[in-house]
Structure 1
Amino acid sequence: MGIQDTLKALADPIRREILNLLKNGRLSAGEICEHFPVTGASISRHLSVLKEADLIRDKREGKFIYYELNASVLEEIMLWITDLKGASNNEGNDTEK
């Protein structure tokens, strides 16, 4: 998956809130659904998009699937943004001299 897929997944406020919920630990789809006024099918689709972007992982335990944050992809995005910000800051400093 590329950065474009990750940014697309992060663009939706419900998906960002799902990630916020998962930063506190793993949750089942049902537990995630309790936090949103949308259908279970809608949450399922959001989880699928997040999984395709490798932002979350899932693990089946019995009849439940638990979702957890995959922080490594988020770290890669943060490094890219930091690098991009650093590059633009350096360019701005060069033009001022």
Structure 2
Amino acid sequence: MPTLDELKLKIEQLNKQHHIEILKILKKNNTVTLNENKSGVYVNLTLLPEQSITDISNYVKYIEEQEATLSSLETQKLDFKNTFFNEKEDKE
């Protein structure tokens, strides 16, 4: 499991949609204090229960795995596209 600093950096790099999902994870635990202002929602990670940290860490890991899979599939798709269309153009 990543350290709290590593987890914080990973969360900060995520987009708004993922931030909302992380907030939903945090709201499942009623003991978590969320501080909200016009700049956003702030959470003191050092005060979070271990289960919440584990859930967030698992979610971030899931996102990273999905993005890696999508990137790989996009690369493969481009390879197929280039191969198919290059061969098709060569035949014409």
TM > 0.5 fold call: no
Higher helix proportion, which one?
A: 2
> Shorter chain as normaliser: what TM range?
0.3 to 0.5
Higher strand proportion, which one?
A: 1
